[in-house]
Amino acid sequence: MAVARKKPSGPMNNRTSHFIMIAILLVIVISIITLWGNVNSPTEFSNSEFMDKLENGEIISIEVSPIAGETNEGVKEVSGEYDGGNYITYFANDDELNEVRTIALADDDITYRVVPGPTTNIMNIIFPILLVVGVVIMIIAMMRGGTNANKQAFDFGKSKAVQSKNEKTTFEDVAGADEEKEELTEIIDFLKKPKKYMNLGARIPKGVLLVGPPGTGKTLIARAVAGEAGVPFFFVSGSDFLEMFVGVGASRVRDMFKQAKTQSPCILFIDEIDAVGRQRGTGLGGGHDEREQTLNQLLVEMDGFGANSGVIVMAATNRVDILDPALMRPGRFDRQIFVGRPDIKGRAQILKVHSRNKKINPDITFKEIARRTPGFTGADLENLMNEAALLAARENKTQVELSHIDEAVDRVMMGPAKKSRVFTKKEKEIIAFHEAGHAVIGLKLENANIVHKVTIIPRGQAGGYNLMLPKEEQAFLQTKQNLTETIIGLLGGRVAEQVIFKEISTGAHNDLQRSTAIARSMITEYGMSENLGPITYEKDSDKVFLGRDYGKSNNFSEAIATEIDKEVRGIIHDSYDKAKEIIEKNLDLLKTIAHYLLEVETLTKEDIDEIVESGKLSRWDDIIEDDEKDIVETDDIKKDEIEDKEKKVREDEVKQPNKDE
């Protein structure tokens, strides 16, 4: 929700005050230069010295003017220029002054002038006034700036939590998380009817921690809880507490809970709490006084208010493994709710929510789209539908078609198609047989992933791409056979290259990475080795916490490490041999799929099924037949034209008389 910024109070904003300060400084500098800038001040002579120089011809100009003031009545100021610079002297005797006048008028080289009244320099009056006014304005501006600075200093420790009193998000906006919503129902009921629980002596959870991968809707669920309960919602990020000054974060935590208590019942939501709540005292990379003080204050505040105070603290993180144990104990975050990736049913519901304001072809079913997007989170699906709508708008369509959604899936997973990229004929053939190899393995192995789409149009850094999906989504369990056949499917592309071209390329780089990772996990994490037994040797290496995990040694010897490498290599080699056997048995199918890939560039699951059943692709053969008919018809027309011309020539020859006769 956009919040209108309040204009700064006071007669001057920052730009105006800066301009005034600069103007004042300029006035002061000019005043100083005008009043005291003349380094060569006039030399003061006595009357006798002046008369001597006048008689010796050293005086160049004389200017006589009266001096203002009652005490100086009758005194005349004589100034001007002489050979050594400027001078000044004073005469009180009129006779002496008349003598000066007589000598000066007699000498043509001397300029003599009498000023009738006292000379008044208006700048001498204006500049002091401006100087005083400038100093006063500067003092006022400095006092005002000091007030703002003091105010900012006091606000530095204030909470940055943003309050939303009329949260409009409800559980209708949250799809694919039925169990998560059910867990939060009693919290909503408590916020609406707290006396019902207090009378029974029930203790409502103080804190609820939402755990799950990025993009699964943790923040959305927290907002929906506030919207369903109709209570204020305070939102703050974990990084908002941390500053370079120690103690600021703790002050902000105190102020945040103080504000929340005044607005109870309410929801206090801390997003990415791992930024401030990570484990303390972890050594390498773990020490941070400001973060630890902030965490300590957070622990104290969560213990400091009662269970039924009406303030429910909700937090979200995707790194629950690095949170401090004191933060996770009962009495602080009493309840953890895992918000995972949605299944096919949940994805269909999420797609329906994100398609409310979009015009979609009514023949398209959300279940069909959900089947094509395994592993997508809510954020991915929202982005998918938005990309499909953008593609439809780009083509000036009135509604989103299945082709737009299909293209959007490819764009989200692999990036936009790079149709302008130029390949050599050999590269294109290698890519076609590589992708066809994956397709053949998927068709012939029972537990291998099925190819739903294969294309040799490059996307991202890949020369080709094929969408391989399992027959059935397995949310929790994978058998050893499933994993082994997945590896065989990944190696199908490399095997096809070697069988057809008798050489290998770098195109299987990603396939080899994935197959090696699966094989190593089978041995070290899942205990699927007959020689090494059901023992876990390694943990998930994707969740390394610096300073904690690097400080631990491997819990197996060098001999075991050698055995692990040997087992992994054995799985890869056996899978490679199995893939080679399947490819060699189905060489004709491989060549047929590759042939049509080179012709049409993209094959869907329906196209591949048709090729398997009939050995051809009807939509491409129909195009070829039409082209051949066009060629035949064109040749017939040309043949008829030639015959007509020859016939006409013969007729002309018969009609013309023989010249010899």
Tell me the catalytic residues: 435
Query: d(Cα 467, Cα 456) in Å, to the nearest integer?
Result: 12
User: Among the residues of 111-246, which ranges form H helices?
Assistant: 122-155, 178-192, 194-200, 218-229
Q: CB atoms < 10 A from the CB of 218, how many?
A: 26
Query: d(Cα 149, Cα 143) in Å, to the nearest integer?
Result: 10
CA distances from 567 to 437, 511, 524, 545 (A): 25, 19, 10, 28
CA distances from 573 to 7, 135, 300, 480, 520 (A): 71, 87, 57, 16, 13
Three-class SS state of 259: helix
Closest CA to 169 of 208, 213, 222: 222
Residue 183 · residue 335 · CB < 8 Å:
yes
Beta pairing class for 233-237 and 266-271: parallel
Query: d(Cα 261, Cα 255) in Å, to the nearest integer?
Result: 10
Three-class SS state of 343: coil
Three-class SS state of 420: coil
Tokens of residue 546, six digits: 């610096």
Angle, helix 558-585 to helix 480-501, in steps of 10 degrees: 60
Query: d(Cα 464, Cα 434) in Å, to the nearest integer?
Result: 9
DSSP codes joined into one string, 361-395: -TT--HHHHHHT-TT--HHHHHHHHHHHHHHHHHT
Query: d(Cα 152, Cα 385) in Å, to the nearest integer?
Result: 45
Give the residue carrying structure tokens 């057809």. Answer: 500
Closest CA to 515 of 494, 541, 543: 494
Beta pairing class for 450-455 and 602-604: antiparallel
Strands (E), 299-341: 311-317, 335-338
Closest CA to 351 of 369, 364, 371: 369
Query: d(Cα 617, Cα 601) in Å, to the nearest integer?
Result: 13
Sign of the torsion angle spanned by Cα atoms 503, 449, 346, 367: positive
Beta-carbon contacts of residue 507 (< 8 Å; ≥ 6 apart)? 430, 431, 434, 463, 464, 493, 494, 497
Alpha carbon 280 to its chain's center: 29
Query: d(Cα 3, Cα 587) in Å, to the nearest integer?
Result: 66
Residue 62 · residue 110 · CB < 8 Å:
yes
Beta-carbon contacts of residue 514 (< 8 Å; ≥ 6 apart)? 490
